[in-house]
Structure 1
Amino acid sequence: MPDLTKPPSPRPRRRRCRLCGICLGTALLALLVSSLAHLFSPPQPQPQLQPPRPSPSSSPPRFAVIIDGGSTGSRAHVFATGPGGRPDLARSAVMRVTPGLSSFADEPARAGDSLRPLIDFAREKVGGAAAEVRLMATAGLRLQEGRLQEAILSSCRDVLRASGFRFEDSWAEVIPGSDEGIYAWVAANYALGTLGGDPHKTIGIIELGGASAQLTFVSDEVLPPELSRNFTFGGTTYTLYSNSFLNFGQNAAQESFREILRSKDSKNGTLVDPCAPKGYSRIKEVISRPSSASKSKLENQFADSGDGDFTVCRSSSLALLKKGNEECRYQQCQLGPTFVPELRGHFLATENFYFTSKFFGLKQSSSLSDFVLAGEQFCNKDLSTLRKMYPNRSDDDFSRYCFSSAYIVALLHDSLGVPLDDKRIEYSNQVGDTQVEWALGAFISNIKGVIVEPSATGRSAHRSRPLLAVLLGVFLLGGALCLARWRKPKTKIIYDLEKGRYIITRIS
């Protein structure tokens, strides 16, 4: 006979308070509404280039003329600001004249006259509006001694003062190579939309000009003070490695290479050039001065004879890039006596990098192994074959591009350690529709002082949004679990006499 004695009832669960559930639900709902309102409210405006006047939309455009005094020619860049004070790139214009300012070394008083066509061009584009003009000379004049630099600049200042544009004598100068690199970096990242944002999302830039090469990028390494520059834009400060390698530009490097051949490998005045195709020949008249004080000149004639050997050209280019390595003052020197940190992130390779890749029909995202293959196939062809393949090109072009293909591989891979199959480098002179020229970066740098930054409260509120979204998600999840438990069906515990145990039954 079953034991009818009722065993002690298990401890009943504490009844959930309906009022507490209602309060919790109300609080969660209020938090949800306020958080969503904050999350989806219009963000604070990002740093914008704005003119100092309170109503930028009604302000007239601001014009500036920047003359790039390069090694092979001078360019006049005309820039204008648009609505909001940002550069109006649709209104920019450029004109180039040759030769470069450094070619007036024997007659520096004539250098200023070479700028007159550029001034006339700028006047036409500005159309009578107020504008300022600046002359920024680069590697061509950097290679000249100081008194000659000043004589050429003095001639140019006379012309710029009479141009009708706003001008100050200090605005005609020879700029450091590191400044040139930073300006190019600014132009590239402005075009990409990364200027003013996360430093690690910016792109580095490598320029291969005629007389010099520039390298500028954000680096996390500890940099020597002389190679480190801080640049601030939109409230963000970037620590940049920026360096200019004088005489490492394509034209200067090829001329240095030929000088090495003349000093070491000449036989009866004939140079065997592995960086020129077979059948190529050129007579070069060389004027040597026994001393800087002497006026006597000794003229010699050398005949370049092409040998067309890409491998030898590459190894010879590497030896040229290592010249001066014994004078290295750093723990390690990658180019001559100069330190270069590891190249991290993506890079844009411009000027002769781009021209060489375009000549060989390579894609913008080609790897260095593509340059090796193209260079080997090109350099190993004889001159008559190349003339048939490229009827509109000169013999000097064939020598130039054979050299540049090998020089680029020696520079980027053999010296700077970029893997042959790496595709982090884009070979192009533009980003989208924007031409990446350092003059644009100089213009942006000159007007960045009128940037209006968002308030600190706005910036902190904007940065707090991701954290707020996470907290909101946690609260919603917790609220959903509590609500699910609160809405469970109501039950009670009864003792079943027939079964002799407690059972749980739902209350209707």
Structure 2
Amino acid sequence: MRFPKLAFFFLFVVCLVVYLTYVKRHYDDLKLPVSDQLPQHRMDTHKQSTSAEVVSENFQYGIMFDAGSTGTRIHIFKFQVEPNEAPKLAHETFKAIKPGLSAYADDPEKCKEGLLELLNVAKETVPETLWNSSPVMLRATAGLRLLPGEKATILLDKVREVFSDSLFLYRPDSVSIMDGTDEGMSAWITINFLLGGLHGTETPTVGMLDLGGGSTQITFALQEEKTIQTLPIDYVTSFQMFNISHTIYSHSYLGLGLMSARLAVLGGIEAQPLAGPQELVSPCLAPDYSGQWEHAEVLYTVKGQKAGEPIYESCLTKVEKMIYKHVRKIEGVKDMDFYAFSYYYDKAVDLGLVDEDTGGTVRVSDYIEGAKKVCNNMSAGGIKESPFLCLDLTYISVLLQELDFPPDKELKLARQINNVETSWALGATFHCIESLHKHGTC
């Protein structure tokens, strides 16, 4: 049987197509591991390596332990670093534990457990490849300042022992007790970094006022050389940050924090309990008030004077006498923007001058008028739930004027700037990282 020519031609074409398809597939199978799969695999590996390098080069971590009197807090700051630019804060991780480090003064070994707990938070936050380039630091404040020197030293040595085994970047001088001036300077760095005043732009720096329980700080940048030359050398600090030099005035007035000042105005002496059943009697309290108040683990019995002199005027005289010649006026502060924190903020909230969550702006005169109103209301038998508010507001208003802030001076109050807490921890971390890069010490 003979095939038609057309059918034979069709069969030939089909066979040729099948053969060519087989050859191409076989050739591609041999070629694929070399030409496609391996280059693709190398490209992915290269991308991963580049990504790791970007993390390493573009991000810097700093780990700061804040060892306060009531607890220990860890701040893990992640900074984005670009060439020829000031770092940007990319993220903050925070955790706090109680009690404070000073609670272990009689059993220092027990402090290790809490420190290791917080270090584990850091290890979960910082990429392992960056541990040895991420400095770990601890700054102790009021709690350790009040301990006898030997007990404080032993506790800090325990911290150094834990940190030295942490695998993070550690230097023995990264663990220390802060004095009030360092605290003020670090808080100033925090505020001005968050506001952009340290970035080499046209943004001016702002001053910082902090009113704690035991001390109060004022810190601001100095501009005039003649002013710098008139100041005590201990009050002036010069440093470089982000390749810009700063000269700042920073001073801490120990004993002029709100709680210490309250005790002094009432007539008590710091850390000295009253002998027997004696009472502290003050014109700054309502005439019919009697109660107890605890300060620095000492319980005081306090009561108001009998009705007579107007409360505000009598209290004002007491406060002015207590603070007289204890505060130094500095020329130029009235012309500079200032942020105020801690009890400045809290008492403005008590008066309803600012929102508790968002803060706001107040004038010095707001504290003055608030003190008059509260004190006069107490004379009429009001404000039993806040027995010390008259005294506190009178003290704040006098303190600000003694620092040379006029009644019409505006102060900004904030707990956060750009959603970041305005504590000293961020500024201290910055300063330490800069010092490590330049001098190898913190």
**Same topology, TM > 0.5:** yes
For 2:193, the aligned partner's letter is Y
Alignment deviations for residues 10-61 of structure 1 (CA, whole Å, 9 cap, x no partner): xxxxxxxxxxxxxxxxxxxxxxxxxxxxxxxxxxxxxxxxxxxxx7576363
Distance 2:82 2:203 in 1: 27
Change (3 A) 1:258 1:178: same
- Alignment partner, residue 140 of structure 2: 137
Check whether the contact 1:87–1:444 (CA below 8 A) recurs between aligned residues: no
- 1:350 maps to 2:341: yes
Cα distance in 1 between the residues matched to 2:278 and 2:94 = 43
Amino acid at match of 1:408: I
The equivalent of 1:61 in structure 2 is 59
Select which of 177, 184, 188 maps to 1:185: 188
Q: Shift of residue 226 of structure 1? A: 1.8
Instruction: Quickly say closer, same or farther: Cα 1:127–1:254, change in 2 above 3 A.
Output: farther
Of 143, 147, 150, the match for 1:147: 150
Matches within 5 A, 1:61-100: 61-82=59-80, 84=82, 89-100=89-100
d(CA) in 2 for partners of 1:450, 1:101: 25
Alignment of 1:273 onto 2:259: no
Instruction: Name the residue aligned to 1:26.
Output: none
CA contact (8 A) 2:266 2:281 kept: no
Mapped to 2, the partners of 1:119 and 1:400 lie a distance apart of 41
Cα separation, partners in 2 of 1:111 and 1:312, compared to 1, 3 Å:
farther
2:397 is the counterpart of 1:412: no
Distance (Å, rounded) in 2 between the aligned partners of 1:417 and 1:273: 27
Conserved? CA contact 2:60–2:81, under 8 Å:
no
CA distance in 2, matches of 1:276, 1:106: 39
Match of 1:246 in 2: 254
Q: How far apart, in 2, do the equivalents of 1:155 and 1:313 lie?
A: 47
- Displacement after TM superposition at 1:196 (Å): 4.2
Do the aligned residues in 2 keep the contact of 1:67 with 1:74 (CA within 8 Å)? yes
- Which protein is bigger by CA-based radius of gyration? 1
Q: Is the 8 A contact 1:204 1:218 kept in 2?
A: yes
From 333, 350, 356, the counterpart of 1:359: 350
**Aligned runs of 1:185-264 on 2, under 5 Å?**
185-197=188-200, 201-219=204-222, 220=224, 221=227, 222=229, 223-258=231-266, 260=268
Contact 1:205 1:216 in 2 (8 A): yes
CA distance in 2, matches of 1:355, 1:321: 21
Query: Are the counterparts in 2 of residues 204 and 216 from structure 1 also a CA contact under 8 Å?
Result: yes
In the alignment, does 2:371 pair up with 1:369? Answer: no
Secondary structure at 1:420's aligned position in 2?
coil
**1:96 CA displacement:** 3.0
The alignment of Structure 1 onto Structure 2 pairs a total of residues equal to 365
**Sequence identity (%):** 28
| Per-residue Cα deviation, 1:82-123 (whole angstroms, up to 9, x for no partner) | 252865545202233444444555555555555455334444
Shift of residue 156 of structure 1? 3.1
Question: Given residue 92 of structure 1, which amino acid in structure 2 is its aligned partner?
Answer: E
More contact order relative to length (CA 8 Å, sep ≥ 6): 1
Structure 1: stretches of 5+ with no match in the other structure: 1-54, 289-299, 326-333, 388-394, 453-508
Q: Give yes or no for the alignment of 1:444 onto 2:427.
A: no
Q: Write the deviation string for residues 330-389 of structure 1: whole angstroms up to 9, x where unpaired.
A: xxxx51xx67444241111112212221232214221111112223333444599547xx
Distance in 1 of aligned mates of 2:259 and 2:295: 17
Letter in 2 for 1:184: A
Q: Aligned equivalents of 1:100 and 1:379: distance in 2?
A: 36
Query: What is the aligned partner in structure 2 of residue 431 from structure 1?
Result: 417
In structure 2, the CA distance between the partners of 1:268 and 1:74, relative to structure 1 (3 Å rule), is same
Q: What is the Cα deviation at residue 141 of structure 1?
A: 2.7
Secondary structure in 2 matching 1:195: coil
- Distance in 2 between the 1:106 and 1:247 partners? 26
